[in-house]
Structure 1
Amino acid sequence: MTQSYTEFAAVYDELMTDIPYDAYVDLLDEAAGGIAGKRVLDIGCGTGLLSVKLAKIGAKVTGIDLSAEMLAVAEGRAKALSLPVQFIEQPMQQLAGFTGFDLAVIAIDSLNYLADQEDVQATFQQIYASLAVGGALVFDVHSTFKTDVIFMEGPFTFDDGRIAYIWETEEGEQPHSVDSELAFFIQEANGLYRRFDEVHSQRTFAVHDYVEMLMEAGFSVERIFADWEDEPPHEESERIFFQVRK
């Protein structure tokens, strides 16, 4: 990955308006048995959209992300709302320094940015060590159907008048991986458009591979469901959710 979530941080929120973050809050509230007062690790927190929503309902949130640009936006968001969210720049597979958390979340396919199975395994192990006994991890990933079929239907385009992009995808070198090149065109105050480019690589694994990695880390699997519905995954599911517990 040569560039990822750099200039993109400035337009990320506008492009994520269709993500049902409130539904994610409900999932986490249920997993935690009531999230108010609970210590939460928001891993791959990005611009802090979910972190802030959790803090608003009383969670004690620590957000972790690899991108300094994303974290700058997140810190500004929390500060503007006077919410005491702590943000730390750290790779999720090297998560360290955390203990006794009640809940961890890796939302909106952030885990798929880890290309190596060893890094995914390390992430699960580090999260396990960061949780209190009885603590839960909730995360979602792309299905193999999405990486192998849907992403291969590109290129994809978007244009809302201020932001436009062309998103070209191709099969990655590893199984169930995809390489994406995105060209963004952002309208400036003078009416002219500025272009910048991003390169993103993602990889997913079969459901049974995730289960094996989670169990190896010590977790008990409680729920596996798909596409925001309380239904098991099927062959054309696109987003797979896992709820596991220490």
Structure 2
Amino acid sequence: MKQDHFASLYDFLMEDAPYESWLSFAERYLVKQGRVLDLACGTGTFSLMLARQGFDLTGVDISADMLTVAEGKAREAGVDVDFILQDMRELQGFQQLDGITIFCDGLNYLRQQKDVKQTFFHLATALKTGGVLLFDVHSCFKLEYIFDHQLYGENGETLSYLWFSDPADEPLSVQHTLTFFNKKENGDYERMDEEQYQRTFEPHVYKQWLEDAGFHNIEITADFGEKDVEEEDDRIFFKAVKK
């Protein structure tokens, strides 16, 4: 599927995403009215929510088409957010930030250990001393059991989709294959296909990489920071402070 098609369908897939819970988690740690970078911002829904809470917000994503949708949302809402096209592995041009967020498993799209390590170093460089990094990732349990040969789907009036999740070649990785059927005005259906690859690592491995990059006061939790991690939790949350 062309990226512009996927960008146009992304919000449909994210209709039930827990944005309010992410916002509550972020506001617990971010400096009020601070300079915040929303990394892997997608179509900007969460970026706009942060901006409405008074943060000086910049959104960054690797997809130009996602950012086009995000910019359109910001104009329509009258919210001042800068959106910038960059790869998180090569993040540059940011200094003295108060906070960085990477939610909705954005970090899981990095396939190699070196990519995650490199990203953490760039994020540490962009933050001021005492600045906060907040992110979530898929748990190992989710990759091994929940995404194990699973099929998801929805049959809507104008848009339907099938979503297959199968184990990929690397440890704790998954290949998502999505097929969309979009109903056109003449009643015909247009088929669009998209593939996504994700990988995760053990929480203690992320913690070590964060420490190596210059972070401390690292907290690892589940349920949007509300409880300690248990074996069957599907999403793991991190808070780390720049030394």
TM range (shorter): over 0.9
CA contact (8 A) 1:65 1:90 kept: yes
Aligned match for 2:190, one of 191, 194, 215? 194
What are the ranges of 5 or more consecutive residues in structure 1 without an aligned counterpart?
Answer: none
Aligned match for 1:19, one of 17, 20, 27? 17
What is residue 99 of structure 1 aligned with on the other side?
95
Q: Which amino acid aligns with 1:97?
A: G
Q: Which amino acid aligns with 2:53?
A: I
Aligned match for 2:229, one of 224, 228, 233? 233
Secondary structure of the residue aligned to 2:226 is coil
Aligned match for 2:130, one of 116, 127, 134? 134
Aligned match for 2:108, one of 97, 108, 112? 112
TM-score (normalizing by structure 2):
0.95
- 1:198 Cα offset (Å): 0.2
- 1:85 Cα offset (Å): 0.6
- 1:222 Cα offset (Å): 3.5
Q: Does 2:80 match 1:84? A: yes
CA contact (8 A) 2:207 2:218 kept: no
Secondary structure of the residue aligned to 2:147 is helix
CA contact (8 A) 1:172 1:179 kept: yes
**Superposition pairs for residues 133-152 of structure 1, below 5 Å?**
133-152=129-148
Q: 2:196 and 2:123 mapped to 1: Cα distance?
A: 24
TM-score (normalizing by structure 1):
0.94
What is residue 75 of structure 1 aligned with on the other side?
71
Secondary structure of the residue aligned to 1:55 is helix
Aligned match for 2:118, one of 119, 122, 134? 122
Residue identity (%):
41
Count of aligned pairs between the two proteins: 242
Q: 2:18 and 2:176 mapped to 1: Cα distance?
A: 23
Q: Which amino acid aligns with 1:193?
A: Y
CA deviation profile, 1:93-148 (whole Å, cap 9, x unmatched): 11011001101000100100000010001111101100111110000000011111
CA contact (8 A) 1:155 1:167 kept: yes
Q: 1:6 and 1:206 mapped to 2: Cα distance?
A: 33
